[in-house]
Amino acid sequence: MQNNFDISGQVAVVTGAGGVLGGSISRSLMEAGAKVVAIDIREENLNKRVEELKTIHEHVVGLIGNVLNLESLKSVAEKIKEKWGRIDILVNCAGGNIPGATLTEEQTIFDMKIEDWEQVTDLNLNGSVYPCLAFGAVMAEQGKGCMVNISSMATYSSITRVPGYSVAKNGINIFTQWMATEMALKFGEGIRVNAIAPGFFIGDQNRKVLINDDGSYTERSVKVLAKTPMKRFGNITELNGAVQFLCSPAASFITGVILPIDGGFSAFSGV
Ligand code: NAD
Looking at the structure, do residues 99 and 60 belong to the same domain, yes or no? yes
| 135 is a domain residue | yes
| 271 is a domain residue | no
Among 20, 102, 149, 211, the mutation site with the greatest number of ligand 1 atoms within 8 A of its Cβ is 20
Domain range for 73: 11-199+236-260
| Residues 77-100 pLDDT 10s | 999 999 999 999 999 999 999 989
Looking at the structure, do residues 54 and 172 belong to the same domain, yes or no? yes
CATH number of the domain encompassing residue 253 = 3.40.50.720
N residues, the chain:
271
Looking at the structure, do residues 189 and 226 belong to the same domain, yes or no? no
**Pocket (CB within 6 angstroms of ligand 1):** 15-16, 18-22, 40-42, 45, 65-68, 93-96, 123, 127, 150, 152, 198, 201, 203-206
Are the C-beta atoms of residues 6 and 252 closer than 8 Å to each other?
no
The structure's pTM equals 0.97
Q: In whole numbers, what is the pLDDT of the chain averaged over residues?
A: 96
| Residues 151-185 pLDDT 10s | 999 999 999 999 999 999 999 999 999 999 999 99
Percentage, residues of the chain above pLDDT 70: 99
Are the C-beta atoms of residues 145 and 139 closer than 8 Å to each other?
yes
Which ranges of 18-125 does DSSP label H, i.e. alpha helix? 20-31, 43-53, 70-84, 114-121
| 111 is a domain residue | yes
Looking at the structure, do residues 155 and 23 belong to the same domain, yes or no? yes
Q: Has the ipTM of the complex gone over 0.90? A: yes
pLDDT category, 2, cuts 50, 70, 90? low
Index of the ligand 1 atom closest to the CA of residue 127: 18
Note the pLDDT of residue 100: 92
| Residues 230-267 pLDDT 10s | 999 999 999 999 999 999 999 999 999 999 999 999 99
Index of the ligand 1 atom closest to the CA of residue 94: 7
Question: What average pLDDT score do residues 64-80 get?
Answer: 97
How many domains does the structure of the chain reveal?
2
237-261: b (≥16 Cβ within 10 Å) or e:
eebbebbbbbbbeebeeebbbbbbb
- Protein residue with its CA nearest to atom 4 in ligand 1: 19
Among 15, 41, 119, 265, the mutation site with the greatest number of ligand 1 atoms within 8 A of its Cβ is 41
| Residues 7-39 pLDDT 10s | 999 999 999 999 999 999 999 999 999 999 999
Index of the ligand 1 atom closest to the CA of residue 42: 11
User: C-alpha angle 261/269/237, rounded to 5°?
Assistant: 15
Q: What is the dihedral of CA 226, 232, 238, 239, to 10 degrees?
A: 30
